[in-house]
Amino acid sequence: MLTRFFDAGQLTVRLDLESAVETPDGQGGVTRSHAVAASLWARIEPVADTVAETGGVERQTITHRIWIRWSGVVQPGMRFRKGGRVFVIRTLHDPDETGRFLVCRVTEGEI
């Protein structure tokens, strides 16, 4: 099997991994907030941006690939935060199936 080479020294961005926390609101619903589950070193690669018109308003969606060291904690639906930027995790995979790294496909800006 061909192993994809990736230099761990390229993990130069510190991100907070956040998971959703739901608190009952007392009226049968929930209030959703996010709590930091871990802080990780990462590499962010912009992939694409698309613009779509919804209800007469243009919305831009930016997708990225975020590389991190392998972790069993990370799940789709969680999110990364870097200051005011939020990256929602859509998919993740182990690029060479060695358990060294995870590549997360994320969209930016959705809260």
Structural domains in the chain, CATH included, are 10-108 (2.40.10.270)
The tokens describing 22, both together, are 């739901």
What percent of the chain is predicted at pLDDT more than 70? 93
Question: Which tens digits make up the pLDDT trace of 49-72?
Answer: 888 888 888 888 889 999 999 988
Condensed to tens digits (0 to 9), the pLDDT of residues 83-99 reads 999 999 999 999 888 88
Residue keyed to tokens 């690029």:
95
> With contact defined as beta carbons under 8 Å apart, do 99 and 73 qualify?
no
Cβ neighbors of 24 (< 8 A, separation 6 or more) are 30, 31
- Our measurement of the distance from residue 106's CA atom to the centroid of its chain's CA atoms, rounded to an integer in Å, reads 5
pLDDT above 50 (res 48): yes
The phi, psi pair for 26, rounded to 5°, reads 85, 0
pLDDT of residue 4: 59
Question: What value does the mean pLDDT of the chain take?
Answer: 88
pTM (two decimals): 0.82
Give the position of tokens 């995870």.
102
